[in-house]
Amino acid sequence: MADTVRADAPEEALSTCRPVDPLRALLEGNARFAAAWIQADRASAPASRSRALSRLWRHNCITTASTLVGGQAPWAVVLACADSRVAPEWIFDAAPSDLFVIRSAGNTAFDDAVASLEYAIDHLAVPLVLVVGHSGCGAVTAALGSAPLTPLLSELVAPIRASLQPGDDLQQAVVHNAKRSAAELSAKSDLVQRALTEGRLTIRSSVYDIASGKVTLLNV
Ligand SMILES: [Zn+2]
């Protein structure tokens, strides 16, 4: 697809990049990533690691710069943590214009995140939102702890603390926080709620495991 796009038809070119099943496309991209990630982890030399990772980015709809100048056509919103190990395009083996990414420490549904989501739904007709929590999350660790935080960091961890259940360990807290973020996205926005009701939008939550590279969907 990539080498057949015409620079004078960006919308047409980008629309061909939209998968029929966005959730399946994300999971298939993650499966490609996880396989390369594990293979690279097992490689003994830097050159072997590079070879393993060079298998990524071969299955995407790679668009040209001149096409992207004309617009974007993302097919999924990813709400992820700001953690440097959880880069969405990387873990889903996705290309520019595929994912509309919203990030903050703890992947919470903060107001600006919901507003960004409203834009993605209203102006870009994005049909899927995936909230991605992750193993070893520092923001969730902070929410579980009692160390003093700055006023702004206290504000940031407040919704994470609200998602916790008694006795949660870090892994359980990450799951509860991801599920709460997914629920908050619709609770905070009539536009998001309407898109869900009309069947134009699906919201799911998930957890990314840094060790294995795998994203696991959570039950709704
Ligand atoms: Zn995190």
Q: Given this model, what pLDDT does residue 6 score?
A: 41
Confidence of residue 11 (pLDDT cuts 50, 70, 90): low
The number of domains in the chain is 1
Domain-embedded: residue 123: yes
Query: Which of 15-19, 48-52, 92-96 is least confident?
Result: 15-19
Residue 55 domain-assigned (yes or no): no
9, part of any domain: no
Instruction: Report the separation in Å between the CA atom of 109 and the middle of ligand 1, taken as the mean of its atom positions.
Output: 14
142, 215 contact by CB (below 8 A): no
Which band of pLDDT confidence, cut at 50, 70 and 90, is reported for residue 152?
very high
Domain interval for residue 201: 74-217
Find all residues with CB under 8 Å of 57, minimum gap 6, and list them: 93, 95
**What is the mean pLDDT of the segment spanning 85-111?**
96
Determine the distance separating the centroid of ligand 1 and the alpha carbon of 26, expressed in angstroms: 20
Confidence of residue 48 (pLDDT cuts 50, 70, 90): very high
Whether 113 is in a domain gets the answer yes
Query: Is 9:89 a contact under the CB 8 Å cutoff?
Result: no
The CATH number assigned to the domain holding 135 equals: 3.40.1050.10
pLDDT, position 130: 98
Give residue 81 CA to ligand 1 midpoint distance, Å: 5
pLDDT (0 to 100) of residue 32? 96
Residue type at 33? F
Q: How far is the CA of 160 from the centre of ligand 1 (A)?
A: 11
